[in-house]
Structure 1
Amino acid sequence: MLRYVELPGARAFRAVGLTPNIITVLGFAVCVAGAALVALGWPLYGGIVFLAGGILDLFDGALARLTGRASPFGALLDSVFDRLGEAALFVGLGLYYLLADLSPPMMIISMLSVLLGLVFSQGVSYLRARGEGLGAFTRSGIMTRTERVAILGVGLIVEGLLPVPIMVWVLWVIAGVSCFTLFQRMFTIRGILERQAEDNG
């Protein structure tokens, strides 16, 4: 399904002369702008901008393949800026809660949700990179980056639209499911490595 979006978008970016690496950096900058809006107390606009940055990330790889400019460094750049863009949003959320008028218990709950969400989200992404370094390629798991970006963006938009602060509970869901995904992916990678060892044996 995504290819029906990626290819037309990649063609449009090629037509205006943008390169895959420029799209990667631009997507990161948009995500950081979304995080800044969240930190300033505008979750609705921050969520919309962050989703726009996540959507831009769909096109750098497609543009690289379309133009024949795919490279190991481009893949590395994309991976690094994906992680940094997502981490920036968690920083923005942390500032959002620090600047809010929250009771001490709610402040602790909110900040803990941000920290655990960041730790487990980055852990899932690290496992994929580490597995690929060992020759085990997998994107398995319930809460991958695509799901996290979508849930974070939509959660922020709903937070901005409703008078009820739901984002902290969204973060707890992300943290919990990401924790499960981390171990799910770890055992998937172990299975791949064991099969490779048997095949080589």
Structure 2
Amino acid sequence: MTLYAQREKFKQVSIKIGLLFSKIPLTANQWTVLSLVPVIFAVWFLMRQDFLAAGVLFLISAFLDMVDGAVARVTNTASKYGAYLDTIMDRYIEGLIIFGLVFAVLPNWYLPVTAWIFAYFFGSFLTTYAKSAAKEKEIIREGKELKGGLLERAERLFILFIGIVLAAFNPLWLVYVLALLAVLTNFSALQRIFIARRIAKQK
């Protein structure tokens, strides 16, 4: 199946989800805020070392994050503020998960586990900020976005989700994943910085 066909298939699924959940009396923005609730409970389970429960709640949050966009599209209520709110909630969700990981009892691997966690947090923050800073400093034209970088938010959270689930069997696997994310997120940030530099030089 081609990438285009996969996108079309996902689009059809998204429409069906939007039609189903639009029957519930909640706006798209309310669905966006609701996606934060499972993550708050996931943090509690991370602190209790119940990685499987945390993973399930993480998955529920990701599904609700998809619902808000699907509902906005089928009800024709997509807005700039809705997109802004979704971005803010995305940062809260990722930040809360990282916060929970700080309090989880995980083994060290070459470096203290907190070093891997904060390196991942730093890389994740810089990847996002490199994009918004390019727009803020007008390197990117109005209405455009800085594209590029190995890992976007969706890929970061998918890899982290896999790590959390694997931690239910062996917590060291989660540490391996955090180390991988620490490297890849910072690499992605550097990629965006160099892309912005190349664009700026062309002006």
TM-score range, shorter chain: 0.7 to 0.9
Find the counterpart in structure 2 of residue 113 from structure 1.
116
1:191 and 1:130 mapped to 2: Cα distance? 15
Partner of 2:22: helix, strand, or coil?
A: helix
Find the counterpart in structure 2 of residue 122 from structure 1.
125
- Which structure 2 segments of 5+ residues have no match? 1-6
Partner of 2:149: helix, strand, or coil?
A: coil
Contact 1:31 1:54 in 2 (8 A): no
Find the counterpart in structure 1 of residue 99 from structure 2.
91
What number of residue pairs does the alignment pair up? 190
1:129 and 1:26 mapped to 2: Cα distance? 25
Find the counterpart in structure 1 of residue 195 from structure 2.
188
1:54 and 1:128 mapped to 2: Cα distance? 22
Report how far residue 107 of structure 1 moved: 10
- Which structure 1 segments of 5+ residues have no match? none
Find the counterpart in structure 1 of residue 180 from structure 2.
173
Q: Which has the higher helix share?
A: 1
2:34 and 2:110 mapped to 1: Cα distance? 33
Amino acid at match of 2:119: L
2:199 and 2:110 mapped to 1: Cα distance? 42
Per the normalisation by structure 1, the TM-score is 0.85
Matched, 1:16 2:24: yes
Matched, 1:154 2:162: yes
Residues 106 and 180 from structure 1, CA distance in 2 versus in 1: closer, same or farther, beyond 3 angstroms? Answer: closer
C-alpha RMSD of the superposition: 2.1
Contact 2:18 2:73 in 1 (8 A): no
Report how far residue 80 of structure 1 moved: 0.7
